[in-house]
Structure 1
């Protein structure tokens, strides 16, 4: 018999380490290929932050890499919200077949609220940063044409 997979633990793993895929490893096991792909785009985004820190805001590669981190964080928060809002009966049927069901307490609800707040802030920041960089590049292109 397999170990019981807690909906609350899955929600909090998505919140804390979801960008690296640990929530998927917990829920789906070590054979989940998508979980093993999570760290790479996350690390690419972290590299973009390091580039911008070292080379400044004019580094165009950092402009492309940083939003990848924001998208990975937003995706992890969305997974946390989905895990936490899944009804207990459905969660147990999918992830704990043949085991006695357990009622989820407030831990999952608080995790969902935290995922919603962080995920919303990260997604809005990612969109704003990307839009700002896009429009700045358009202004630079228009200025170079007019000269």
Structure 2
């Protein structure tokens, strides 16, 4: 029996590592094994910024990968938490009743949804701001080079 609350928390907390995918689909899930790749690339981008500074152009591309992965996993946690018990049990617990307990929503599920919404939105906005800031700074610098 796959619990909706556990899946929502796993997607929120361990989503960038694919933990929710392994919980729901088993260790053979390809997407679960691919999720750590953008997470690791984003962490590598953070390491490059610490090592080379803010002017490292490769980190401009890598850091948003981490942010977008975290935001996407937060969205998945919200979708899991908001799914109806009938839909949840039909998809992940097909041999149980439509209103079985693992598909029910409780306060822990609501907390996962609320935290995923807050953190996911904040990380998404920060990733977009970081990306656009560095992109436009690069464009301005290139325009200065052309005008001189």
Q: TM-score per shorter chain, which class?
A: over 0.9
User: What is aligned with 1:126?
Assistant: 127
User: What is aligned with 2:16?
Assistant: 19
User: What is aligned with 1:108?
Assistant: 109
Query: Deviation of residue 98 (structure 1)?
Result: 1.0
Query: Deviation of residue 37 (structure 1)?
Result: 0.3
1:6 equivalent to 2:3? Answer yes
1:61 equivalent to 2:58? Answer yes
Query: Deviation of residue 99 (structure 1)?
Result: 2.1
* Contact preservation (8 Å) 2:78, 2:117: yes
Q: Secondary structure at the match of 2:55?
A: coil
User: TM-score scaled by structure 1?
Assistant: 0.95
Q: Which sections of structure 2, spanning at least 5 residues, go unmatched?
A: none
Query: Aligned partners of 1:92 and 1:106: how far apart in 2?
Result: 19
Q: Deviations over 1:73-94 (max 9, x none)?
A: 0110010000000001110111
Q: Secondary structure at the match of 2:12?
A: helix
Query: Aligned partners of 1:32 and 1:61: how far apart in 2?
Result: 30
- How many residue pairs were aligned? 144
Query: Aligned partners of 1:90 and 1:65: how far apart in 2?
Result: 36
Query: Aligned partners of 1:117 and 1:59: how far apart in 2?
Result: 29
Query: Aligned partners of 1:132 and 1:80: how far apart in 2?
Result: 29
* Contact preservation (8 Å) 2:49, 2:56: yes
Q: Deviations over 1:56-78 (max 9, x none)?
A: 00001111110000111011001
Query: Deviation of residue 24 (structure 1)?
Result: 0.8
User: What is aligned with 2:77?
Assistant: 80
Q: How does 1:35-50 map to 2 (within 5 A)?
A: 35-50=32-47
Q: Which sections of structure 1, spanning at least 5 residues, go unmatched?
A: none
User: What is aligned with 2:27?
Assistant: 30
